[in-house]
A and B are shown apart, each in its own frame.
Chain A
Amino acid sequence: MNQNHAILLIEDNEDDVFFMRRALKAAGIENPLSVARDGQEAIDYLEGNHPFADRTKFQIPCLAFLDLKLPHLSGHQVLEWLRSQEHLRELVVLVLTTSRERRDIDEAYRKGANAYLVKPSSPPELLQMMISVKNFWLKYNNYPSNGAEVSCSAADIQ
Chain B
Amino acid sequence: MAVLLTFLNEQPAWSDIPLILITSGGETTQASLRVFNAFGSSGNITLVERPFRAITLISTVQVSLRARRRQYQTRSLMETLEQRVTERTQKLEETISELEAFSYSVSHDLRAPLRAMQGYSHVLIEDFSEGMDEKAREYIRRILTASERLDRLIQDVLTYSRFTRGDIEVSRVSLEPLVYDIVQQYPALQAPRAEVEIRTPLLPVAGHTGSLTQCISNLLTNAVKFVSPGTSPHVSIWTESIDSDVLIYIHDNGIGIPPAHQKRIFSMFERGPHTAGYEGTGIGLAIVKKAVERMGGSVGVQSEPGAGSKFWIQLAAA
Contacts and interface: CB of A to CB of B under 8 A. Distances in A.
Interface of A: 13, 15-16, 18-19, 22, 69, 98-101, 119, 121-124
B234 to A, nearest CB: 31
Contacts, number: 41
Contact of B118 (A98, A99, A100, A121): A121
Contact of B148 (A18, A121, A123): A121
Interface stretch (B6-14, B104-112, B169-177, B198-206): B104-112
Contacts of A16: 112, 115
B123 A121 contact: no
A100 B119 contact: no
B307 interface: no
A101 B107 contact: yes
Given A98-B111, A101-B104, A121-B114, 17 more contacts: A13-B112, A15-B112, A15-B119, A16-B115, A19-B119, A22-B123, A98-B108, A98-B115, A99-B104, A99-B107, A99-B108, A100-B107, A119-B115, A121-B119, A123-B122, A123-B123, A123-B126
Contacts of A122: 118-119, 122, 148
A121 B115 contact: yes
Minimum-distance CB pairs A-B, first 4: A15-B116, A123-B122, A19-B119, A69-B108
Contacts of A22: 123
Interface of B: 104, 107-108, 111-112, 114-116, 118-120, 122-123, 126, 148, 151
Contacts of B126: 123
Contacts of B116: 13, 15
A122 B114 CA distance: 10
A122 B144 CA distance: 10
Contacts of A18: 119
A136 B43 CA distance: 78
A99 to B, nearest CB: 6
A151 to B, nearest CB: 31
Nearest to B166: A102
10 contacts: A15-B116, A22-B123, A69-B108, A98-B107, A98-B108, A101-B104, A121-B118, A122-B122, A123-B126, A124-B122
B243 to A, nearest CB: 34
A22 B151 CA distance: 22
Contacts of A15: 112, 115-116, 119-120
